[in-house]
Chain A
Amino acid sequence: MKKYNVLGNKDTRSGFGDGLLEAGKRNPNVVALCADLTESVKMTAFKEEFPDRFVQVGIAESNMVSIAAGMALSGKVAYIGTFAAFATGRVYDQIRQSVAYSNTNVKICGSHAGITLGEDGATHQILEDIGLMKMIPNMVVINPCDYNQTKQATIAISEHNGPVYLRFGRPKVPIFISEDTPFEIGKAIVLNEGKDVTIIATGHLVWEAIVAGEKLAEQGIDAEIINIHTIKPLDTEAILRSVNKTGCVVSCEEHQYNGGLNDSVSQLLSRNNPKPIEYIGIDDKFGESGKPEDLMVKYGLKSENIISAVHKAIKRK
């Protein structure tokens, strides 16, 4: 098992904030809009550096989405930032019509995604956003795994002309992707090559997959670990190549498995190479208040759960 060092601990939303500032420096057409959560979603640095390119819309997410579409029409690269729950579910129709169907260059940036939002509870812990967004034609869906990758993704989407949903989170999590790791939209990263099982993980669960991989290695199980940062378009080639070799899969996500990464991978396998697949994800439930770490344990999103799922998957081969 390849060794991954923890390079630090940071929230992925800070990766978004730093990436946004950098994208703004590189491209004068980058603008940012926020709905009363500027500091929470880490847009303050952009706002201070480019006050004339920052729009505070107040608590009015629908308006924000459509304003962003109008700005994008006129040549702007419009980033909108709010909590993922409000950036997706609340404004689904605006995204569908003004952004996706109109194919406007809007970057929907959802922070505090998933159960690790923690204490605020289920109203804010969206676990359906990947599914909502990936189902819309024209939409690219990205869920990076740590600070560095989120920063890279935030910059990369400014160079992609079209709608993007970028999902990231609130808690501080290990940084393990080096700054010089190439980031390409739609291109999976094989974090560890193995032959016994393919663990496909996205977002915060990528680190859990690495921890699981280390423990599995001690048990003599050689896991291939794939970091899927782009859920749509899915890197089908990387997944099929790996599964051809390993013969079974465990998908890992901080999201409903129904409609999430598991759903995408299962469809791919069922059409091309049906193999046993187990999932780590939320099983048709709402979240609840609690500390992020405690919630990860209660909802079965830890490395231990991945290890159990790997054993199950291998047994089903």
Chain B
Amino acid sequence: MATIAELESISSQVRRDIIRMVNGCSSGHPGGSLGCADLMSALYFKELDIKPENFTIEGNKEDMFFLSNGHISPVWYSVLSRRGFFPTKELATFRQLGSRLQGHPTPKYNLPGVRVASGSLGQGMSVGIGAALAKKMNGCGHLVYTLHGDGELQEGQIWEAVMFAGSNKVDNLISIIDYNNAQIDGKVDNVLTLGNLKEKFLAFNWEVVEMQGNDMEDCLRGLNDAKSLTKNGKPVVILMHTLMGYGVDFMQGLNKWHGTAPTDEQATNALSQLKETLGDY
């Protein structure tokens, strides 16, 4: 089982991968990817019970993960490849013609780890609910995880899903909100405030866990708390406080890095701040 230090070392490499992928094709979304690097490393290297060597769309007898905010594909692709779902050298093809690593994730080219397309926001929680319901029908005791941006919660479908999961006791679902208060047009609070998110989820009959998503120890604590709350009649949401662009000083906390690729010079600067721990692809 991975230790905190080992997970931190993985997330440092994942951050390097993100910078190199986005810089390599001069496009993509580094901000949210960097912010979620710790969570994704914790999920894929510790929390999820998964079979990277034998990936199936059905995901029977294993945990399932759905990335609803598909634009942070760099962090997902990096973690998937580092975990052994596909060769890390494939990360170099990100967003290139003919690549399985499309700008936004899709199962179309049989990329192991990806089960459904995402990119158009707001659909992943519903998909996760469907998978969670099927798990119950199939007698599978594993969990379904979904990840969302906080700006994504402005989509109406999210609240249809939140209402459904709370009403129908979908208690094998853990939805994680990347609560960085940043979206393309500015701070979420200024674009369209989410108000008291915790109270909203509680009102919809969810269990709520809060955690610091850029503190590996707290990340593990939060994921563990969330898991312990499952199978008790309520879905679980994790409000994960992060900084957009975390780990790169000139990106940190700035919404302009939502979907902007660093220049070569900026990438060099960023990489100098991130330790190469597992070997660059």
- What residues of chain A have their CB less than 8 Å away from a CB belonging to chain B? 31, 52-53, 55, 57-58, 60, 62-63, 65-76, 78, 93-94, 96-98, 101-104
Apart from A74-B138, A76-B137, 16 more pairs, CB < 8 Å: A63-B161, A66-B123, A66-B124, A66-B130, A67-B129, A67-B133, A69-B127, A70-B116, A70-B130, A74-B58, A75-B138, A94-B157, A98-B123, A102-B106, A102-B115, A102-B116
Q: Does B233 make an interface contact (CB < 8 A)?
A: no
Task: Count how many chain B residues have C-beta atoms less than 8 Å from C-beta atoms of the other chain.
Answer: 36
Structural contact, B117 and A73, CB atoms closer than 8 A: no
Query: What's the minimum C-beta distance from B224 to chain A, rounded to whole angstroms?
Result: 25
Contact pattern, B 121-152, Cβ under 8 Å of A = 1, otherwise 0 = 01110111111111101100000000000000
Q: Once bound together, how far apart are the Cα atoms of A94 and B125, in whole Å?
A: 12
User: Which of A53, A73, A96 meets B127, CB within 8 Å?
Assistant: A73
Chain B residues closer than 8 Å to A70, beta-carbon distance: 66, 116, 126-134
Whether A102 contacts B117 in the complex (CB less than 8 A), given A74-B60, A75-B58, A76-B134, comes out as yes
B24 contacts partner chain A, Cβ-Cβ < 8 Å? no
| The residue from B58, B117, B137 contacting A97, defined by CB atoms under 8 A apart | B117
Most buried by B among A67, A69, A103: A67
Query: With A52-B137, A73-B59, A74-B60 in contact, is A103–B108 under 8 Å at CB?
Result: yes
Contact between B57 and A63, CB atoms less than 8 A apart: no
Q: Are the C-beta atoms of A73 and B106 separated by less than 8 Å? A: no
B87 partner residues in chain A, CB cutoff 8 A: none
Nearest CB in chain A: distance from B67 CB, A: 13
Tell me the bound Cα distance from A75 to B130 in angstroms.
11
Judge whether A94 and B123 touch: CB under 8 Å.
yes
The residues of A that contact B52 with a CB separation of less than 8 Å are none
A67 touches B164 (CB 8 A): yes
Closest 8 CB pairs of A and B: A70-B130, A66-B126, A74-B134, A63-B160, A60-B160, A67-B130, A70-B127, A71-B130
Which residue of B has the minimal Cβ distance to A60? Answer: B160
Q: Are B126 and A62 in contact (CB under 8 A)?
A: yes
**How far is B123's CA from A62's CA once the two chains are assembled, in angstroms?**
8
Indicate whether B103 reaches chain A with its CB closer than 8 angstroms.
no
* Contact call B157/A103, Cβ cutoff below 8 A: no
Can you list 11 contacts pairing A with B, beta carbon distance less than 8 Å? Answer: A69-B126, A71-B133, A73-B131, A75-B138, A94-B123, A96-B120, A97-B118, A97-B123, A101-B106, A101-B117, A102-B108
B156 is an interface residue with CB less than 8 A from chain A: yes
**Residues of B that sit less than 8 Å from A by CB:** 57-60, 66, 106-108, 115-120, 122-124, 126-135, 137-138, 156-157, 160-161, 163-164, 167
Interface centre among A58, A74, A75, A98 (most CB of B within 10 A): A74
Do residues B164 and A60 form an inter-chain contact, with CB atoms below 8 A? yes
A101 surroundings in chain B (CB, below 8 A): 106, 108, 117
Q: Which residue of B lies closest to A91 (CB)?
A: B157
- Which chain A residue lies CB-closest to B104? A97
Min Cβ gap B152→A in Å is 13
Pick the contact of A98 from B59, B116, B133 — CB < 8 Å?
Answer: B116
Question: Distance in Å from the Cβ of A241 to the closest Cβ of chain B?
Answer: 34
Q: Which residues of A contact B167 (CB under 8 A)?
A: 58
**Is there contact, CB below 8 Å, between B118 and A63?**
no
Chain B residue nearest to A98 (CB atoms) is: B123
Nearest-CB residue, chain A, relative to B140:
A74
Q: Give the Cβ gap from A187 to chain B, nearest Cβ, in Å.
A: 28
Give complex CA distance A67, B131 in Å.
7
- Cβ–Cβ contact A63 & B131, under 8 A: no
CA distance A268 to B176 in the complex (A): 49
Q: Report how far A78 CA is from B115 CA in the complex, Å.
A: 16
Q: Across the two chains, which residue of chain B brings its CB closest to A66? A: B126
Say yes or no: A72 contacts B130, CB within 8 Å: yes
CB neighbours (8 Å) of B117 from chain A are 97-98, 101-102
Given A62-B160, A66-B157, A73-B59; A97-B126 close (CB under 8 Å):
no
A103–B116 CA distance with the chains assembled, in angstroms:
8
